Structure 1
């Protein structure tokens, strides 16, 4: 159990974990259930940082929070967002070309624009509204949607980073997802609106991936995580 948690932490963040946790072949599948917990851990670290900057300039707080967010995650999902944007536009509806562009390590104009826009939206949302404890919801749901994606969507790259996650124990994953939903609902109607927005985004992105690729890749999952975090922050920052 702990090995799966440590593996999830080691994969999704830059928090140091023992290298030995990656030795077990089946551990990767078990780690999927812990993705929401790792998201909550990221949120707690960001919340503590935000709490320590009370009274600071909102713009400075937003900039430092976003910088810490990127550093904690190692820009893992931002890379997937950039690759997906390049591939979606450059692939011109062609599945094989789209997949080939995703494997290209270079970042094209579409990828740069996607990165700038998503980071700008996150920054504006963080600067425009004091998130407080609600900040936990963005990274939590940004990782929970990955668990849902691997449970419900084919993975199209054999031997890819996410291929070992397809044999994850469904019951453990569903249990963790249920706890993530309950945590959001404990936030009242604001948490409910966040869940609705995330569900709509997930269904639209899954439909697009199924139509273009017949499934998902690690890059499209990274894009999903980043878009989910941005949507959550926008919903929380919007006037109520």
Structure 2
């Protein structure tokens, strides 16, 4: 349970029991990421059911606000850093990595965040009008699974980054089984089309990260969550 609470503590802003941090627990916590995503989806679905009858566009705004608050905008921050680095880095690896460490957000990052949030709001409105709650479960599940897929397929290029400790103690064999189970669950919940869309987006992001950085960083993981959820 300590591994789960550590994953929940890192990926959400909900209060949890105090968990002592150590390398092995951090490594095991990675296996809980898809479960955290699924539980977030369950909370969103429950909120949607509780507020059933609210106009779709208003309920979509409420759900999106809850979504952002529940994660503390953690992954949006990664997406913003990637946007600035992609443009400002001009293809230079070291320059891009330096920009990612800058806490300030440039105009490109702000524009991208607005567009992503608008797309999420529009998508939520559409699914609420169709009375189809399954994407509320699938999107957060696939978003956190995307982190594991990048960890399995792209070198981590920020040795001093937060994820370095997690990866140093990761069980990659168990991670593959976890990813497989999460993808099968997503397939059962929403069918193959969301998986295809998420896969294409993640393939593009991984390719771009390899070309510009030579691998992935924590910000790339965050960008993957946001882009896959939106897809």
Task: Tell me which interval the TM-score lies in, with the shorter structure as reference length.
Answer: over 0.9
Confirm whether residue 140 of structure 1 aligns to residue 138 of structure 2: no
Q: Distance in 1 between matches of 2:21 and 2:209?
A: 31
Are 1:32 and 1:147, in contact at CA under 8 Å, matched by a contact in 2?
A: yes
1:185 aligned residue: 187
- 8 Å Cα contact 2:141-2:186 kept in structure 1: no
CA contact (8 A) 2:127 2:133 kept: no
Cα displacement (A) at 1:65 = 0.1
Residue equivalent to 1:215: 215
**Structure 1 residue 134: Cα displacement:** 2.9
Equivalent residue pairs, number: 227
Shift of 1:159: 2.0
Question: Structure 1's 89 and 22: CA in aligned 2 closer, same or farther, altered over 3 A?
Answer: farther
Unaligned stretches of 5+ in structure 1? 232-240
2:78 counterpart (65, 77, 80): 80
2:170 aligns with: 168
1:72 CA displacement? 0.5
Equivalent runs, 1:140-159 vs 2, <5 Å: 140-159=141-160
Q: Which runs of 5+ in 2 are unaligned?
A: none
Is 1:55 equivalent to 2:53 in the alignment? yes
Give the TM-score taking structure 2 as reference length.
0.95
Show CA shifts across 1:102-137 (max 9, x none).
Answer: 100001101100100000000001012223133100
In the other structure, the counterpart of 2:2 is 3
Cα shift at 1:229: 0.3
Are the equivalent residues in 2 in contact too, given 1:34–1:173 (CA < 8 A)? Answer: no
Aligned partners of 1:84 and 1:7: how far apart in 2? 25
Deviation at 1:27, TM superposition (A): 1.4
**How much has 1:92 moved relative to structure 2?**
0.7
Shift of 1:13: 0.4
Residue 96 of structure 1: aligned partner? 94
How far did 1:165 drift? 2.4
Q: Tell me the distance in 2 between the aligned counterparts of 1:91 and 1:177.
A: 32
Q: Which residue of 2 aligns with 1:198?
A: 198
Q: TM-score, normalised by structure 1?
A: 0.91
Question: What secondary structure sits across from 2:23 in the alignment?
Answer: coil
CA contact (8 A) 2:37 2:140 kept: yes
Whole-Å Cα distance in 2 between the matches of residues 133 and 51 of structure 1?
12
Counterparts of 2:140 and 2:119, CA distance in 1: 15
Shift of 1:200: 1.4
Give the superposition deviation at 1:17. 1.9
Moved more, 170-179 or 95-104: 170-179
Equivalence for 2:115: 117
Instruction: Look up the match of 2:27.
Output: 29
The answer to whether the 8 Å contact 1:28/1:164 transfers is yes
